[in-house]
């Protein structure tokens, strides 16, 4: 055995075990779909795909029915209901939010390694002779040693920042504006109020480190609650927040282009960019109207794990002023530079993406000439997108980036 139950901790251990078993049973339904996708590609296309690739692929119901798992082969009606659910809008929404949540992690979930937070806290107390405040120690274990290279944030990921912010807000709402959770005893009730209880068996802050008997239930808190008391907040979902941010970005871009129509503004193709939602959104200056693309530089990595690390480009605006953008991403190595002649223009951009990254880029010009693919050699497992504007021309780009180029789109305009 790897673990032993401490004397007097039977109830706490059983509570943890129940949560683990619940998660395993819940995850079986999702892992079954991934397994079916992998089996279908293996049997029908003789192709091996990884679990991460399979999670981003969705079969039709009839395709799922061609790879019935052995454990439900005697009850195909049950499996048919599972396949129908996997094709439902409800499942697609959950899948999308799950992918966004994963993307927004953008790093480790904490810095205490394999130790439980409470175990790490006890070790710190033994080492320093001072018992650390629980919440302050939680913040420390979710803080980077160095700022994020792109955003400058000290949090290990956006989820940690959101949890800390919401907990502090609710703590002050419960205990007063002058209250500070970093100098006060940890209040499990605040964690329940801030995150709508223990959603999916997990407490909003400090899950698995707070004695279950000290955590009040939602039903107990709701009983006799009045509107004058601090509200029970809905469990904030990173995916929902991220999608709202993207909708706001798209709405802002729509307003921007409506305002610029009188300036003969170029068309924006592919909002909010083909690829993932990680990193920082990047665009051309809102006052700039690109007319002709002069050059594009691409930093990339080849091979099976290839990707686009960074992009920069130069264009001439409507006043024939040269404008430089980028680099967006990490400029490791020597870039591939595409110089576009005076009698030439860019007509097509081919993009492949995987795992929330842009994995390859291919550029076609009017000459005609083909530059690429740069990055990973495209495969059937990658998502492929094409921006073909011929007889117009691609004049600029936009996207998202951090260490890598996460997403990309383009602007087009009539050939000058």
In this structure, the answer to whether residues 61 and 142 fall within a common structural domain is no
What domain range includes position 149? 110-236
**Domain assignment present for 250:** no
Q: Which two tokens stand for residue 80?
A: 């048919």
pLDDT of residue 306: 84
Instruction: Check whether residue 114 and residue 224 sit in a common domain.
Output: yes
Q: What is the pLDDT of residues 275-290, one digit of tens each?
A: 887 788 899 987 788 9
pLDDT (tens digit per residue) in 228-268: 888 888 766 666 666 666 667 667 766 665 655 545 578 88
298 and 215 within one domain:
no
What average pLDDT does range 342-369 have in this prediction? 91
Give per-residue pLDDT as tens, 76-120. 888 899 899 999 988 888 887 777 666 655 556 777 777 777 788
Domain boundary among 25, 56, 87: 87
pLDDT over 70 at 323, yes or no: yes
Angstrom distance (rounded) from CA 106 to CA 61: 33
71 in a structural domain: yes
Q: Quote the CA–CA distance of 270 and 282 in Å, as a whole number.
A: 14
Q: How many folded domains does the chain comprise?
A: 3
Beta pairing class for 290-301 and 369-375: unpaired
pLDDT tens for 295-317 read: 999 999 887 778 999 999 999 98
Query: Backbone phi, then psi, for 160, in 5-degree steps?
Result: -65, -40
Calculate mean pLDDT across residues 194-213.
Answer: 71
Per-residue pLDDT at 193: 86
pLDDT greater than 50 at residue 157: yes
Residue 295 falls inside a structural domain? yes
**H/E stretch holding 44:** helix 10-45
Q: Of 95, 98, 101, 110, which Cα lies nearest the Cα of 238? A: 101
List the structure tokens of 144.
């980077």
């Amino acid at each position: 055995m790897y673990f032993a139950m401490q004397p007097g901790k039977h109830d706490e251990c059983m509570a943890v075990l129940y949560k683990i078993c619940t998660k395993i049973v819940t995850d079986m339904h999702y892992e079954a779909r991934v397994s079916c996708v992998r089996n279908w590609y293996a049997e029908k296309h003789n192709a091996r795909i990884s679990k991460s690739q399979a999670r981003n692929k969705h079969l039709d119901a009839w395709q799922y029915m061609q790879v019935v798992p052995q454990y439900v082969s005697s009850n195909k009606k049950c499996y048919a209901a599972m396949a129908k659910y996997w094709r439902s809008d409800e499942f697609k929404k959950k899948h999308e939010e799950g992918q966004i949540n994963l993307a927004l992690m953008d790093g480790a979930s904490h810095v205490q390694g394999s130790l439980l937070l409470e175990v790490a806290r006890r070790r710190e107390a033994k080492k320093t002779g001072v018992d650390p405040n629980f919440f302050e120690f939680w913040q420390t274990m979710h803080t980077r040693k160095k700022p994020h290279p792109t955003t400058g944030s000290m949090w290990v990921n956006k989820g940690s920042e959101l949890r800390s912010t919401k907990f502090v807000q609710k703590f002050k709402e419960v205990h007063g504006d002058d209250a500070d959770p970093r100098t006060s005893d940890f209040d499990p009730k605040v964690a329940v109020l801030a995150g709508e209880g223990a959603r999916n068996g997990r407490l909003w802050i400090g899950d698995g480190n707070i004695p279950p008997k000290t955590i009040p239930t939602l039903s107990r808190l709701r009983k006799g609650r009045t509107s004058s008391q601090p509200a029970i907040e809905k469990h904030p979902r990173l995916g929902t927040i991220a999608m709202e941010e993207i909708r706001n970005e798209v709405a802002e871009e729509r307003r921007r282009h409506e305002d610029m129509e009188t300036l003969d503004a170029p068309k924006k193709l592919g909002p909010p960019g083909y690829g993932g939602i990680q990193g920082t959104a990047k665009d051309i200056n809102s006052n700039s109207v690109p007319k002709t693309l002069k050059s594009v530089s691409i930093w990339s990595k080849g091979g099976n794990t290839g990707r686009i690390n960074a992009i920069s480009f130069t264009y001439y605006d409507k006043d024939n002023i040269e404008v430089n953008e980028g680099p967006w991403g990490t400029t490791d190595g020597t870039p591939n530079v595409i110089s576009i002649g005076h009698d030439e223009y860019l007509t097509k951009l081919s993009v492949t993406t995987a795992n929330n990254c842009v994995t390859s880029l291919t550029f076609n010009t009017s000459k005609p000439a083909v530059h690429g693919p740069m990055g990973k050699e495209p495969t059937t497992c990658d998502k492929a997108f094409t921006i073909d504007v011929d007889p117009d021309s691609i004049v600029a780009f936009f996207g998202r980036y951090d260490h890598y180029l996460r997403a990309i789109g383009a602007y087009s305009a009539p050939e000058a």
